[in-house]
Amino acid sequence: MTKISAAITAVGKYVPDYILTNKELETYVDTNDEWITTRTGIKERRILKGEGLGTSYLAIKSAEDLIAKGNINPAEIDMVIVGTATPDLPVASTAAYVASEIGAVNAFAYDLQAACSSFLYGMSTAASYIESGRYKKVLLIGADKMSSIIDYKDRATCIIFGDGAGAALFEPNEEGLGLQDEYLRSDGVGRDFLRIEAGGSLMPTTIDTVKANKHFVYQEGKTVFKYAVSNMAEVSEKMLTRNNLSEKDIQWLVPHQANKRIIEATANRVGVGPEKVMMNIQKYGNTTSGTLPLLLADYESQLKKGDNLIFAAFGGGFTWGAIYLKWAYNS
């Protein structure tokens, strides 16, 4: 019997029109373009403006882009996973709403939350459903409206995050293409260094928590940076050694877009040159669950069938990992 693997067969993206530049951020907090660019590599980020527009809007738009480009019948999609740290509503599934809105009437859907590793973890989940043989089309979306949880008076976070979404369709493959290997990790120590303190069951929302700004992202930058650099680099290197790959065998490194210095450290550890590293952090900042699929959509035209891609991510929790995937089509 031919082994079934899970391949990405289509991608889509959406970023809002509004561009928040470093220059504009200078009017919010004590910072400047040179300081931000030197430390993060970010020049601008996209922000979703408009009454009643949440993460689902970003997710729907990216899915519609994929459906249109791939000429997909949404009624044939079996399931929809939305990786997000900023769901529209507590309790009510964002993915269920997204599936209904895009016409995936025969799909079941749910949200997946692993902070900046959500799309990476979602790749593993989508692939497992495909490899089981029970499902043929799994739509994985990474989407976050980070502007909804950022304090624009906090210089440590407001310079980093932006809004955006990307989508990927997973289908069965019998040519040995698609997801080859994965190494996913987590460590609960991370909640001390990257979190939103209030709004959950530990500290429910009150007037006092709102007044104290406890519903925004808090990040202890130096500690998170240190963990991210060492762990993203380590798991990326592990993917190569475990699969007997050298840097010459890798066509693309697909790293989470948190900080340009973290991306460069990961690339150096793996041994690939900058020409093999996907990067768009300068345009979008850190879109959390959206970074990896946005990279795929931005670089799709350069991808060739059989290309070896190493994905790596690190996020709150802490959550992190790497995935080795063979690209399945010529664009």
Asked if residues 325 and 179 have their Cβ atoms less than 8 Å apart, the reply is: yes
Instruction: Give whole-number Cα distances, 100 to 229, 238, 311, in Å.
Output: 39, 39, 30
Determine which helix (DSSP H) or strand (DSSP E) holds 253, and give its type and residue range: strand 252-255
Residues 233 and 322 in one domain: yes
Q: Is 329 exposed, middle or buried (CB count within 10 Å of its CB: 0-12, 13-18, 19+)? A: middle
Residues of the chain with pLDDT under 50: none
Closest CA to 328 of 304, 301, 309: 304
The one catalytic residue in 116, 158, 173, 231 is 116
Please state, as a whole number, how many other Cβ atoms lie within 10 Å of the Cβ of residue 147.
Answer: 20
In this structure, what token pair is assigned to residue 237?
Answer: 């290197």
pLDDT tens string 245-295: 999 999 999 999 999 999 999 999 999 999 999 999 999 999 999 999 999
Residues with Cβ within 8 Å of 256's Cβ and at least 6 positions away in sequence, in order, are 116, 117, 120, 232, 262, 286, 291, 292, 312, 313, 314, 315
Domains in the chain, number: 2
Residues 149 and 232 in one domain: no
CA distance 165 to 3: 32
Q: What is the pLDDT of residue 207?
A: 98
Residues 133 and 183 in one domain: no
Residues 172 and 56 in one domain: yes
The one catalytic residue in 158, 231, 256, 259 is 256
Average pLDDT over the chain, rounded to whole? 97
* 256 included as an active-site residue: yes
Residues 15 and 100 in one domain: yes
Q: What is the pLDDT of residue 319?
A: 98
pLDDT tens string 19-32: 999 999 999 999 99
The one catalytic residue in 22, 173, 259, 286 is 286
Residues 223 and 306 in one domain: yes
* 215 included as an active-site residue: no
The alpha carbon dihedral of 30, 34, 36, 39 has a sign of: negative
CA distance 125 to 107: 15
* 158 included as an active-site residue: no
Please state, as a whole number, how many other Cβ atoms lie within 10 Å of the Cβ of residue 214.
Answer: 16
Q: What is the pLDDT of residue 331?
A: 85
Residues 235 and 212 in one domain: yes
Residues 147 and 200 in one domain: no
Last residue of a domain, one of 155, 176, 197: 176
Closest CA to 292 of 269, 270, 315, 275: 315
Determine which helix (DSSP H) or strand (DSSP E) holds 20, and give its type and residue range: strand 18-21
Which residue range is the domain that position 314 belongs to?
Answer: 179-327
Residues 30 and 171 in one domain: yes
pLDDT tens string 194-223: 999 999 999 999 999 999 999 999 999 899
Last residue of a domain, one of 130, 147, 176: 176
Closest CA to 292 of 126, 122, 170: 122
Residues 252 and 307 in one domain: yes
Last residue of a domain, one of 142, 176, 210: 176
β-strands 163-173, 138-145 pairing:
antiparallel
Q: What is the pLDDT of residue 296?
A: 98
Residues 25 and 113 in one domain: yes
Residues 16 and 56 in one domain: yes
Q: What is the pLDDT of residue 1?
A: 63
Q: What is the pLDDT of residue 295?
A: 98
Q: What are phi and psi of 238, to 5 degrees?
A: -60, -40
Residue with tokens 């739509």: 139
**Domain CATH for 229:** 3.40.47.10
Q: What is the pLDDT of residue 2?
A: 78
What's at 284, amino acid-wise? Y
